[in-house]
Structure 1
Amino acid sequence: MRLRAAHVRVRVPATSANLGPGFDALGMALGLHDDLGVRALGSSEVRVEVEGEGAGEVPDDERHLVVRALRAALDHVGAPQTGLHLVCRNRIPHGRGLGSSAAAVVAGLLAARGLVGDPEVLGDDDVLALATELEGHPDNAAPALLGGCTLAWSADDGGAVRAVRLPVHADVAPVAIVPPQHLSTHAARGVLPAQVPHADAAWQAGRAGLLVEALGRRPDLLLDATGDRLHQGYRRSVMPESLALVDALRARGVAAVVSGAGPTVLALARRVGAPVEASGSTATGEGVGADVHATDADAAVADAFGGVRAGWRVLRLPVDPEGATVRALLD
């Protein structure tokens, strides 16, 4: 297998996993993207340039997660390794529960697909399997790859990982409320118990099923459908401000959850009125993307903060229906 392209561009969305009760299974792609240019070099040199999120913090050599994922994909298909020049324009916040590591992994795998030039040898099933191997679980990788809302699972014997897209009602309008502080996924997972009460597990299964219905056809049920007893409460000690915000928003009727491992809070709001400007001129914060609407959570978010957000960003982010993309460049 040889490389057929020397320069590719990859775009990959932010994601929010769990969505409350769908722990390690449900995820949603959001309209906030990292853009990468990846060039194969004739030497063994590796250069990584990062603008935006993670600049000056992430590795700029072989240790960079995009490079590691790309090399794993090339090995998987038997393609030769190569020197690399990456230019990363990152908009997805790091360490905030918005899938930045999954985005990097999927970006590297898709870059390899573009360099090889044959999507059949790195199909979506292959990419999802490799991403899960690198990430440890598929809940962020699946929506980053496929777009929209996804449900991911693995075979009972620990075999193949699979994912399907779920319908999302046009009125669902996610709002990400991003704190200034980071939190590692390892720390967030470290406080979870090895076992939970049977009653909580049964309750959670019902809410997860209800969430699929609420997202697809009944957004009016989102508040009930986003209840959780398996992970968020146990994480209160490592993200008290985030869980306090979740409590405050839910008390005001907003379907708020911890986004992934946190500490970002995600409100699964409903759109109201006409689209708003994407410049961030509205009362609740920055709008990102072309499909940005006022939501029924805006007043509750403003009320919960009491006008003082102390570094928190409020981002209205449409559901990204496309997922990660790659295209070869001719230069």
Structure 2
Amino acid sequence: MSVNSSVTVTVPATTANLGAGFDCIGAALTLHNNFKLTLVDGETQIIVTGSEAARVDNIYKDNLLYCAYVKLYEHLGQTPSPVKMEIGLGVPLARGLGSSATAIVGGLVGANILAGEPLTQSQVMDLAISMEGHPDNVVPALIGGCRLAATGVNGWEICDIPWHESIVPVVAIPDFELSTKEARRVLPTEVSRADAIFNISHLGLLLRGLETGKTSWLQAALQDKLHQPYRKSLINGYDAVSAAAINAGAYGMVISGAGPTLLALTDTSHSLDVVAAMATAWKEIGVAAQVRALNIDNDGARVIKD
């Protein structure tokens, strides 16, 4: 066994897209999954705790955390050792908060530590993006903060997006799920030039709005024409929750990732009102939801070497 035979990795939830930043922007939130990986001499095993533990596949060869663990060793040309994996769930599953990204990042980071840290953070990030298929969740889950990812001449370019201290992310997590596959199925294969221009301009405004906290910029910037008009029909109560959030003082509301979690951005003086209004709006149409005001997690994946 290596010097570090056990490691614990805490990985934040993420919210992707933020409206106009479809598939390229994501932000880490103060909601976390914990993964403890311990090298063992016997059989690989997975133990899951948390409110949705029964829904996580503990057949290790099918588990995403284990797949990521194996991926890193395969990248190194090594055979992975048997491992005991203990998963502590704090991020709801299939709700648009990057639960799969936490498993990918947790497995890759944990394996890299156990292997003696042969890969840099940038190399781990590249593996994570290749597993997830797009960067918007795994990048902030790994390095924290709000990040924009774009392909560059020699690979991925990652840009830090300043997040003004007055802006509060409020997540409304309903008691129903929406698969990413279904959320992508409803998207058109082509968009008009007008819609492309709309999103380009609003993405620029979003970046400046997040940096400055300017109300009018944020109110306009959270609009989108590439994915939300098509996906909102899959989310029962979308329009009612959006109207309630804005009436309570939110700058606007977007779909978190593929949904069905809804994300409102507001300021510190209105955050409690927005939380209450979004919860009430869904309750009135028979949808139970957890609604929480969170913060941006600027640390990303955190490691404890045992």
- C-alpha separation in 2, matches of 1:83 and 1:129: 25
Residue 249 of structure 1 is matched in structure 2 by 245
Equivalent residue, structure 2, for 1:170: 165
Q: TM-score, normalised to structure 2's length?
A: 0.92
Q: 1:69 Cα shift?
A: 0.3
- Which letter maps to 1:23? F
Q: Could you tell me how far 1:209 is from its partner in structure 2?
A: 0.7
Confirm whether residue 235 of structure 1 aligns to residue 231 of structure 2. yes
Structure 2 residues not aligned, in runs of 5+:
none
Write the distance in 1 (CA, Å) between the matches of 2:131 and 2:276.
40
Of 261, 265, 268, the match for 1:264? 261
CA-based RMSD of the aligned residues comes to 2.1
Structure 2 equivalent of residue 103 of structure 1: 102
Residues 149, 224 of structure 1: CA spacing in aligned structure 2 closer, same or farther, 3 A cutoff?
Answer: same
The one of 160, 166, 185 aligned to 1:190: 185
| Structure-2 change in CA distance of 1:324 and 1:301 (3 Å) | same
Deviation of 1:305 after TM superposition, in Å, equals 4.5
Runs of 4+ in 1 over 6 A off after TM superposition: 306-309
Is 1:69 equivalent to 2:68 in the alignment? Answer: yes
Cα distance in 1 for partners of 2:183, 2:263 equals: 16
How many Å separate the matches in 2 of 1:299 and 1:96? 20
Give, in whole Å, the separation in 2 of the partners of 1:189 and 1:268: 24
| Inter-partner Cα distance in structure 1 for 2:211 and 2:273 | 18
Please name the residue that 2:212 is paired with.
Answer: 217
After superposition, what is the alpha-carbon deviation per residue over 1:115-149, rounded to whole angstroms, capped at 9, x for unaligned? 1232xx32221112111111110100011011110
For 1:153 and 1:301, locate their aligned partners in 2 and report how far apart those are by CA, in whole Å: 33
Higher helix share: 2
Q: Cα–Cα, structure 1 residues 305 and 59, in superposed 2: closer, same or farther, change >3 Å?
A: closer
* 142-151 or 122-131, which deviates more: 122-131
Please report how far the alpha carbon of residue 322 of structure 1 lies from its aligned counterpart in structure 2 after TM superposition.
Answer: 0.4
Instruction: Give the structure 1 partner of residue 194 of structure 2.
Output: 199
1:19 is aligned with what amino acid?
L
Matched, 1:114 2:113: yes
Q: Does 1:318 align with 2:295?
A: yes
CA deviation after TM superposition for structure 1 residue 316, in Å:
1.3
Query: Is residue 240–residue 281 contact of structure 2 (8 Å, CA) maintained in 1?
Result: no
Aligned-pair CA distance for 1:34: 0.5
The structural deviation recorded for 1:296 is 5.9
Q: Is the 8 A contact 2:282 2:288 kept in 1?
A: no
- CA gap of 1:99–1:193, structure 2 versus 1, over 3 A, is same
1:242 and 1:264 in contact (8 A); partners too:
no
Equivalent residue of 1:126, what SS? helix
Q: Deviations over 1:57-101 (max 9, x none)?
A: 221122110000011012212343110101111010000000000
Deviation at 1:163, TM superposition (A): 1.7
Using the alignment, how far apart are the partners of 1:261 and 1:197 within structure 2?
22
- The 8 Å contact of residues 66 and 105 in structure 1, kept in 2 or not, is answered as yes
User: Identity over the aligned pairs, expressed in percent?
Assistant: 38
TM-score, with structure 1 as normaliser: 0.85
**C-alpha distance in 1 between matches for 2:55 and 2:134:** 24
Please state whether the residue corresponding to 2:191 is helix, strand or coil: coil
Q: What do residues 259-304 of structure 1 show as CA deviations (whole Å, max 9, x unaligned)?
A: 000000001111129xxxxxxxxxxxxxxxxxxxx45634643664
SS of residue in 1 equivalent to 2:62 = coil
Q: Which amino acid aligns with 1:123?
A: T
Pairwise CA distance, 1:155: 3.6
